[in-house]
Chains A and B, each alone.
Chain A
Amino acid sequence: GAVVSQHPSWVICKSGTSVKIECRSLDFQATTMFWYRQFPKQSLMLMATSNEGSKATYEQGVEKDKFLINHASLTLSTLTVTSAHPEDSSFYICSASPPGDNSPLHFGNGTRLTVT
């Protein structure tokens, strides 16, 4: 089945530093990938849609200069949290779906970010 790999699984960083999270589709090409954030006991919140070869589409309220998204190839999207602050601590999850309008989303294992 379709596999999405996300790295790292967890990261601890100091306030003011930047963190890069990678999302790879391992056995299919994904022109679109999605980045979600999930706070404890809350549902998934879509942050942005990553489009291969073009700019990402950000949801309302998500700062594009803070959450940099690069979708450089059909199998890789990266999310960089710049100048991280403790309030950015969260569970970040990427997802992608194989070609086909109704293909289910497959999720990476998520990255737990803790900013100290």
Chain B
Amino acid sequence: GQNIDQPTEMTATEGAIVQINCTYQTSGFNGLFWYQQHAGEAPTFLSYNVLDGLEEKGRFSSFLSRSKGYSYLLLKELQMKDSASYLCAVLDSNYQLIWGAGTKLIIKP
């Protein structure tokens, strides 16, 4: 079966750095997406990785290791507005998106 695992909830302090991990087992791989979703709102696109390595985009970076079936989203200089759920999703061999359950990130002052 296809499976994506990410922690249910994480807590971090304003101004700090947090890393949200995602591991996956899917039938094929055509890329991994990270989305941010604030409570009561639709998800918004953060990043896309299809090759191994680190993609940096401002305060957010995303890393991929295809051999390990592993990705992480790194958030730096945390702000209160970063409190949200972060969803990991993998595009499988049929170009179907497989979603993780999301990680709820709580930022404390």
Contacts and interface: CB of A to CB of B under 8 A. Distances in A.
Given A43-B87, A43-B100, A43-B102, A102 B45 contact: no
A104 B43 CA distance: 12
A106 B30 contact: no
Dominant SS among interface residues on chain B: loop
Given A107-B44, A110-B41, A102 B102 contact: no
Contacts of B50: 102
Given A46-B97, A102-B48, A109-B42, 19 more contacts: A43-B100, A43-B102, A44-B87, A44-B99, A46-B99, A93-B42, A101-B95, A102-B30, A102-B31, A102-B50, A104-B45, A105-B33, A105-B97, A106-B45, A107-B42, A107-B43, A109-B41, A110-B42, A112-B40
B12 interface: no
Contacts of A102: 30-31, 48, 50, 91
A56 to B, nearest CB: 15
Q: How large is the interface on B (under 10, 10 to 19, 20 to 34, 35 or more residues)?
A: 10 to 19
B101 interface: yes
A111 B102 CA distance: 20
28 contacts: A43-B99, A43-B101, A43-B102, A44-B43, A44-B87, A44-B99, A46-B97, A46-B99, A91-B40, A93-B43, A101-B30, A101-B95, A102-B30, A102-B31, A102-B50, A102-B91, A104-B33, A104-B45, A104-B48, A105-B33, A105-B45, A105-B97, A106-B45, A107-B43, A108-B42, A109-B41, A110-B42, A112-B40
Contacts of B91: 102
Nearest to A112: B40
A109 B101 CA distance: 19
Nearest to A42: B101
